[in-house]
Chains A and B, each alone.
Chain A
């Protein structure tokens, strides 16, 4: 089995502070990996190392390797813009462009020159369908995306990613600002999308990790304490710290 993502001995410093302590983990293609842990444990920082979002932060130093499809993404020859096209990211709060729904989706394919103008309509429809949003917005494609509900905006952001045909999706607490129904829709979507993408999701919601992920990694103080199949983590964790965290005995 070839891993989609291979991380080995990854260390990340914010100035002098070691924020990720020698993380090594492999991610299977077409799986969902959930990252759990208390605030400040490094899970979001880790997520951002996968598409080099941390490059934008001053004073960050990274050691170790992150391979995607066998390529080291920290190699000097890597085109970071192309990397972030391959590895899309969804954030805690939906962040659509203040443009029409159509323009939000069409923007990426246009700037990357992925499609001819006459194919754009198809790409927009397909992306919205894949993000389970098409039926709700097909009659208002040219109205502002800002008029959508929070859950719809989040699915729009996912559709916007899908339009540039990535193969890894990073999600940083994608449901934390959403109501339960919208949360359920995103979770269903994640389950759908995993047949075509590899997904890594940071979540504070343990039940969400248990519901949607195939693998779960527990982070604490910059260390990856435990990484296993989700079934095992939530029924028989091996490390006492994992047990204490997932059963609410922390702090």
Chain B
């Protein structure tokens, strides 16, 4: 016989699985958006843009599931934290998905332009941000606090890369006003990646809360 509590546990496990699926889609979208930019791959950029609707729908489904479980089970203690963090993490993931979408839009915008400089820092930043996203999801699956803390401290590196790119692109613009249009777009890309890293940090912080019940503010 399946008890009420087992049913409830199954629902919670399923919720976690849904969040992971969403996280995988988002991580993929981030990677593809930056690849589309670096390789001027219009087709790939379009895929990212179209895929955003799927991510949005996943968020709505996860939120719905959380609300129904809250209504039906009146969760307490860890169950409550699982559902509360579920609602927060799905929002963070959705925002990351939006930023991937924004980057893909910029890919389309500058696909037919010559790049004002070789893209070195953006892929590097994207690599870091993506690792943070993946690590935060892994920390969530395994409730790995050490890994979650690692994600939080990685955010500093992304922030300093962002500052560095900002300075560099400003220099380009001052030297040659014809670069302003594209450099502005590249600054946006860097900004989106920096935001993605912030959302990954949020997820890591929620993992720590989920496991310990303590709120931490790492960045």
- Could you list which residues of chain A lie within 8 angstroms of chain B, going by C-beta atoms? 206-207, 210, 234-237, 242-243, 246-249
Q: A248-B4, A248-B5, A249-B5 are in contact. Are A207 and B77 (CB under 8 A)?
A: no
**10 residue pairs, one from A and one from B, having the closest CB atoms:** A236-B213, A246-B76, A243-B77, A234-B76, A247-B79, A248-B5, A237-B77, A247-B77, A207-B74, A246-B77
User: A235 — which chain B residues lie within 8 A by C-beta?
Assistant: 76-77, 80-81, 213
A-B contacts counted at CB < 8 A amount to: 32
Assess whether A234 is in contact with B80, with CB atoms less than 8 Å apart: yes
CA distance A247 to B83 in the complex (A): 13
CB closest residue in chain B, given A248: B5
B78 on interface, CB distance cutoff 8 Å = yes
Chain B contact residue count (CB 8 A cutoff): 14
Contact assessment for A243 and B4 in the assembled complex, using a CB-CB cutoff below 8 Å: no
CB distance from B58 to the nearest CB of A (A): 27
Cβ of A236 and Cβ of B77 under 8 Å apart?
yes
Interface hits, B30-56 → A, CB 8 Å: none
Contact string, B68-84, partner A, CB cutoff 8 A, digits 1/0?
00000011111111000
State A52–B75 Cα separation when bound (angstroms): 36
In the docked arrangement, what's the CA distance between A206 and B81, Å?
17
Q: Which A residues lie within 8 Å of B80 (CB)? A: 234-235
Q: What B residues does A210 contact at CB under 8 A?
A: 76
Beta-carbon nearest neighbor of B80 in chain A: A235
- The smallest beta-carbon distance between B217 and chain A, in angstroms, is 17
User: What residues of chain B lie closer than 8 Å to A234, measured between beta carbons?
Assistant: 76-77, 80
Distance, CA A242 to CA B76, complexed state (A) = 11
B4 near A247: Cβ-Cβ < 8 Å: no
Closest to B209 in A: A236
Contacts of B81 in A (CB 8 A): 235-236
Nearest opposing residue in chain B for A232, CB measure: B213
- Contacts A207-B74, A247-B77, A247-B78 aside, 7 further interface pairs with beta carbons under 8 A come to A206-B74, A206-B76, A210-B76, A235-B77, A243-B77, A248-B5, A248-B8
Interfacial chain A residues near B4, Cβ < 8 Å: 248
In the complex formed, the residue of B with least CB distance to A209 is B76
From A243, A247, A249, name the one whose CB has the most chain B CB atoms within 10 angstroms.
A247
B74:A243 contact, CB within 8 angstroms: no
Contacts of A206 in B (CB 8 A): 74, 76
Q: Flag if A243 contacts B5 (CB, 8 Å).
A: no
Bound complex: CA A247 to CA B5 (Å): 9
* CB-defined contacts of B5 to chain A, threshold 8 Å: 248-249
Interface centre among B76, B78, B79, B212 (most CB of A within 10 A): B76
Alpha-carbon gap, A207 to B212, bound state (A): 22
Q: How far is the CA of A246 from the CA of B214 in the complex (A)?
A: 19
Point out the residues of chain A lying under 8 angstroms from B213, CB to CB. Answer: 235-236
Which B residues touch A207, using CB under 8 A?
Answer: 74
Interchain CA distance A243-B82 in the complex, whole Å: 13
Rounded to whole angstroms, the CA-CA distance of A65 and B74 in the bound complex is 37
With a cutoff of 8 Å between Cβ atoms, the chain B residues found around residue A246 in the complex are 76-77
Pairs A–B under 8 Å by Cβ, sample size 27: A206-B74, A206-B76, A207-B74, A210-B76, A234-B77, A234-B80, A235-B76, A235-B77, A235-B80, A235-B81, A235-B213, A236-B77, A236-B81, A236-B213, A236-B214, A237-B77, A242-B77, A243-B77, A246-B76, A247-B75, A247-B76, A247-B77, A247-B78, A247-B79, A248-B4, A248-B5, A248-B8
Interface positions, chain B 134-164, Cβ under 8 Å from A, are none
> Which A residues are in CB contact (< 8 Å) with B75?
247
Contacts of B76 in A (CB 8 A): 206, 210, 234-235, 246-247
B2 CB to nearest A CB, Å: 14
Q: How far is the CA of A235 from the CA of B4 in the complex (A)?
A: 21
A208 vs chain B, min Cβ distance (A): 11
User: Please, how many angstroms separate the alpha-carbon atoms of A248 and B78 in the complex?
Assistant: 12
Q: Which residue of B lies closest to A210 (CB)?
A: B76
Closest residue to A246 on the B side, CB-wise?
A: B76
Chain A residue contacts of B8, Cβ below 8 A: 248
CA distance A236 to B213 in the complex (A): 5
By a CB distance below 8 angstroms, the chain A residues around B77 are: 234-237, 242-243, 246-247
Residue in chain A with minimal CB distance to B5: A248
Question: How far is it, in angstroms, between the C-alpha of A236 and the C-alpha of B78 when the chains are bound?
Answer: 7
Q: How far apart are the CA atoms of A76 and B210 in the complex, in Å?
A: 51
Instruction: Enumerate chain B residues within 8 angstroms of A237, measured Cβ to Cβ.
Output: 77
A15 to chain B, nearest CB (A): 36
